[in-house]
């Protein structure tokens, strides 16, 4: 049986690649309103010793768009070199 992502649900897993205190302690994905999001979580502590979690959400599609190289209408990669003809 394949896993089916349901709307308004997600999962977090321990971040085994964490190398800094600024990196999230847990990461995962969640679907909210039919849109997939990357979810990051950090464990914080108040002055009185009480702990809580903070969350950050980033659309999965937004990250894919940022990683693609820019292309012009001809389909060639964007070349900003001004080569004289």
**Distant-in-sequence contacts of 5-8, Cβ < 8 A, 24+ apart:** 5/29, 5/31, 5/36, 6/31, 7/31, 7/32, 7/33, 7/34, 8/32, 8/33
Mean pLDDT, to the nearest integer, of 58-69?
A: 74
Q: Please report which confidence band the pLDDT of residue 76 belongs to, taking 50, 70 and 90 as the band edges.
A: low
Question: What average pLDDT is seen over the chain?
Answer: 84
Q: What is the pLDDT of residue 1?
A: 63
> Domain spans of the chain?
12-62
């Amino acid at each position: 049986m394949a896993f089916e992502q349901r709307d308004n649900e997600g999962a977090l897993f321990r971040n085994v690649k964490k190398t800094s205190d600024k990196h999230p302690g847990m990461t995962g994905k969640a679907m909210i309103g039919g849109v997939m999001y990357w979810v990051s979580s950090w464990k914080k502590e108040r002055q009185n010793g009480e702990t809580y979690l903070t969350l950050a959400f980033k659309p999965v599609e937004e990250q894919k768009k940022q990683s693609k190289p820019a292309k012009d209408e001809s389909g060639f990669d964007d070349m900003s070199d001004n080569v004289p003809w």
